[in-house]
Amino acid sequence: MSDLTIEDPAPQMPAVRPSRWEALEPWFFIAPSVILLLAIGLYPTIYTAVASLQTWVMGMSPPAWGGLGNYAHAFTSSDFGGAVLRTLMLIVVTLPVELVLGMMIALALDSPHFSTLRRLLQICLVIPIAITPSVVGLLTQLMFNEQLGIINHLIHGLGFPAIDWLGRPAAAFGTVMVVQVWEWTPFVALVLSAALSTVPKDIDEAALLETERWWPRFRDIQLPFMWPGITAALVFQTAFTIKEFDMIYSIERGGPGTATETAVMQIERMAFRGFDVGLASAESILMLVLSIALARVYIRVFYREMD
């Protein structure tokens, strides 16, 4: 999102005619972090890329050249494909829901009245963001338990039949989505609420004089100021979801069956339960390509739109 900063003619140090030394100066500041990230990020990535071309099952056989066999297997196995698809599904379904709900919360926080309630909510919104995801997973296990969970008890109290939240594949995936929405909607709401606070008071007041209907006001005044926030929320959410492991793993390790297994979980299973380092590496590289592609798309498409 700092792309904006990069584009805008931000004040910079008065540059005397840049000498060669001058050109190196910024790198003096940047180099330590780049070296560190290269060592802990790039080196392992290359290692993984090499391993992805090897037939290598930990403990069974030493690494041997395997060509593109691992990639062929990753592409054809329903196991990995399914996990990637589920991960994308998770993004496609939960993101819009989080955006809509987050927007509603942000609007409610922006309106007058109930100032104490609003302040309280503003503080509480941070809780789901901060709470440890493995704890959220455990709580889900407890609260959504079919027989003894509080959720089914409440549903029953309202006159609906109990639902086997975690036992059926579709329901379990739905449960994961619900929890994901619980965990991250507050984040979206906070970001959008901050964006909403950038709407200049005078413009808003002038608009209010013209019409009191909320839709035109939202569409013409508030929404344009919220686009940057929406974009920020999208980028962060996509990153969080594509990396998702902790919370879902803690519910039931991706079960029932593989109904809630994400791509990262599937790769972890291949690498550290099946010990197939070659295959897991190939799958990791594919995920890396996917995430870089997504990052590029976001940055190109959304940030272009803004300027």
Partner 1 sequence: MKALCALLAGVAAMSLGAGSARAWSLEEAAKPYKGVTINVVGLDRPSYKIAQKLTPEFEKATGIQVTWNIFPYEDTLKEETLNFVSNSQQFDAILSDVVWPVNFADPGWVLPLDHFTGDSALADPDLDMKDFFPVWLASFTVNGKLYGLPFDSYAGLLYYNKSMLKAAGFDGPPKTWDELAKTYAPKLTDAGKGVYGYALQSARGETQTADAFARFLWPWGGRFIDVANKKVLVNDPKSMAGIEFRHALLKTMPEGIVSDDHSQVVEMLSQKRVAMITEWSAFYPTLSSSPIASDLGIAPEPKGPDGAYAAFGGFSYMVSAQVDKQHQDAAYLFIQWLTSKAMAKPLIEGGAVVARQAADTDPATQAKFPNLAPMVETWRTSVVPDWRPQLECYPRFSDIVSDWGSRIELGQVEIKQGLDSMANDLTGYMKSSDCWGKSNDPEKAMATYK
Partner 2 sequence: MNDLRSALLRALQGLGLVLTLVIILFPIYWMVAGSLKTEADLFAIPPRWIFTPTLEAYADAIFHSNILTTLLNSVIVVACAVALGLVVGAPAAYGIARYRFKGRKDVWFWYVTNWMLVPVVVLIPFYLTASKLHLINHLVVLILVYQVFIVPLIVWLLVDQFSAVPIALEEAAQLDGLSRIGIFLRIALPLVKPGIAVSAILSGIFAWNDLLYAFILTPSPNSRTASTVVLSYLGGYVIPWPKVMASATLVSAPVIIGGIIVHKYIARGLTMGAVK
Report the C-alpha gap between 257 and 42 in whole angstroms: 34
- Asked whether position 199 contacts partner 2 by CB under 8 A, the answer is no
HSE, side-chain direction, 13 A CA sphere, residue 11: 0
- Asked whether position 171 contacts partner 2 by CB under 8 A, the answer is no
Which of partner 1, partner 2, none sits in contact with 264, Cβ below 5 to 8 A by type? partner 2
Cβ closer to partner 2: 46 or 170?
46
Q: How many residues bind partner 2 (CB under 8 A)?
A: 107
Which of partner 2, partner 1, none sits in contact with 257, Cβ below 5 to 8 A by type? partner 1
64: closest CA among 74, 51, 73, 47? Answer: 51
Name the one residue in this structure whose structure tokens are 């993101």: 95
CB atoms within 10 A of CB 16: 7
Q: For residue 9, say if its preceding peptide bond is cis, omega within 30 degrees of 0.
A: no
- Asked whether position 170 contacts partner 2 by CB under 8 A, the answer is no
Which of partner 1, partner 2, none sits in contact with 222, Cβ below 5 to 8 A by type? none
Residues 48-87 that bind partner 2 (CB under 8 A): 48, 51
Q: What is the 3-state secondary structure (H, E, C) of 95-154?
A: HHHHHHHHHHHHHHHHCCCCHHHHHHHHHHCHHHHHCCHHHHHHHHHHHCCCCCCHHHHH
DSSP lists the bridge partners of residue 55 as 64
Among 82, 128, 167, 255, binds partner 2 (CB under 8 A): 128
Residue 185 backbone phi and psi in degrees, to 5: -60, -40
Among 73, 118, 168, 217, binds partner 2 (CB under 8 A): 118
Among 155, 190, 210, 216, binds partner 2 (CB under 8 A): 190
263: closest CA among 89, 26, 137? Answer: 89
Cβ closer to partner 1: 231 or 262?
262
To partner 1, the closest distance from the beta carbon of 80 in angstroms equals 11
- Asked whether position 138 contacts partner 2 by CB under 8 A, the answer is yes
- Asked whether position 103 contacts partner 2 by CB under 8 A, the answer is no
To partner 2, the closest distance from the beta carbon of 205 in angstroms equals 16
226: closest CA among 210, 204, 242? Answer: 204
Stretch that binds partner 2, among 64-72, 90-98, 165-173, 263-271 (CB under 8 A): 263-271
Among 53, 83, 166, 195, binds partner 2 (CB under 8 A): 195
List % helix, strand, coil for the chain (3-state, nearest 5): 75, 0, 25
Cβ closer to partner 1: 173 or 303?
173
Residue 70, token pair as written in the block: 């691992």
**Given the rule CB under 8 A, which residues bind partner 1?**
55, 57-61, 69, 79, 146-147, 164, 166-169, 172, 252-259, 269, 272-276
